[in-house]
Amino acid sequence: MNEIKSVAIYCRVSTEEQASEGYSISAQLQTLRQYTSLYGWQIAEEYVDEGISGKDIKGRPAMQRLISDVEKDKFQAVLVWKISRLSRNMLDTLVLLDKFEEYDVKFISYSENFDTSSPIGKLVVQLMASIAEMERNTLSENVKLGMTQRAKEGSWNGGVVFGYDSLEKKLVINPKEAEIVQLIFTLYVEGKGLKAIANHLNKAGYRTKRDKHFSINGIATILDNQVYIGKIRWLQVENWDKKEGVEKMRTPLSLRGNTKQLSPMSFGISSKPEDKVNPLSSVSRMSPSY
């Protein structure tokens, strides 16, 4: 094993972990920087994947750069705060450790003390990786249950909605965007089609939150969203496979929102704004929305 002179620091936190456990990238970095200083190691580079799940290493840009740099002999060790930061998938963890060993790069976990160069050390890593995978599955299920309960209580679970701004987990009406939403429903009630509505908005100079032109799918999503009448739709689609495009439909929860967290819009077109919200089930969706 090469003498350690420089190390790569890898940090990761998923959205679920941020929500339930309060993991912090800055806290991980601070701890690991102090650890390298204690041993006199130079930091070759810091690799950070923020808001990304530990389930799959392929979808992590910083992890892919780390693997590439391992092969370029840029450092003698990879340092993480905890083995679960590397991956919560046992197979991925073992593949990564094999890659490190192939290029004579040591793996160091600040929280767990083991030596991957010995058979016993490798066994300990496998056990820890297995535990991390189990924790990931438990965490995912707990977060899902928690968000479902929040929906049942009429609370907003997050996500960007045109016509609203997200402020401290609350949806607050954005006056300028709300005018556009009202215009969309007005045009729809007048008999305009999705393409005609999108063209009308784009020609008038209106843009989406991302400063893009309105699309047919975008208009359909707005017309199909019950949040504008103060309702929350939850668990519309389960087990979505992006690659295969396979979905398992569930009966969605349609619940009255908590008025402290979700303000319904007043359309002013008729006495029953619900009449203007017509689910466009015939419009195909490229991916599920919650």
**Chain centroid, CA 42 distance in Å:** 32
CA atoms of 158 and 234, how far apart (whole Å): 11
Question: For a pLDDT cut of 70, what percent of the chain falls above it?
Answer: 57
The more confidently predicted of residues 43 and 82 is: 43
Q: What mean pLDDT is predicted for residues 97-124?
A: 78
Cα 58 to Cα 55, 74, 189, 238, distances in angstroms: 9, 21, 46, 22
CATH of 6-148, one of 2.40.180.10, 1.10.3300.10, 3.40.50.1390, 3.30.300.180: 3.40.50.1390
Query: Across residues 184-192, what is the average pLDDT?
Result: 91
Of the chain, the percentage scoring pLDDT greater than 90 comes to 30
DSSP 57: G
- Across 150-166, average pLDDT: 64
Domain residue limits, the chain: 6-148, 155-276
Closest to 180 (Cα-Cα) out of 193, 161, 166: 161
Catalytic residue among 6, 14, 263, 287: 14
Which has the closest alpha carbon to 162: 202, 207, 229? 207
Residue 20 a catalytic site member: no
CATH 3.40.50 at 155-276, yes or no: no
Mean pLDDT of 106-112: 87
Stronger pLDDT, 142 or 171, i.e. the higher one: 171
Q: Report d(CA 79, CA 25) in Å as an integer.
A: 14
Window from 21-30, 164-173, 252-261 with minimum mean pLDDT: 252-261
Say if residue 141's pLDDT is above 60: no
Give the burial class of 174: count Cβ atoms within 10 A of its Cβ; 0-12 exposed, 13-18 middle, 19 or more buried. middle
Question: Looking at per-residue confidence, does 11 or 231 come out higher?
Answer: 11
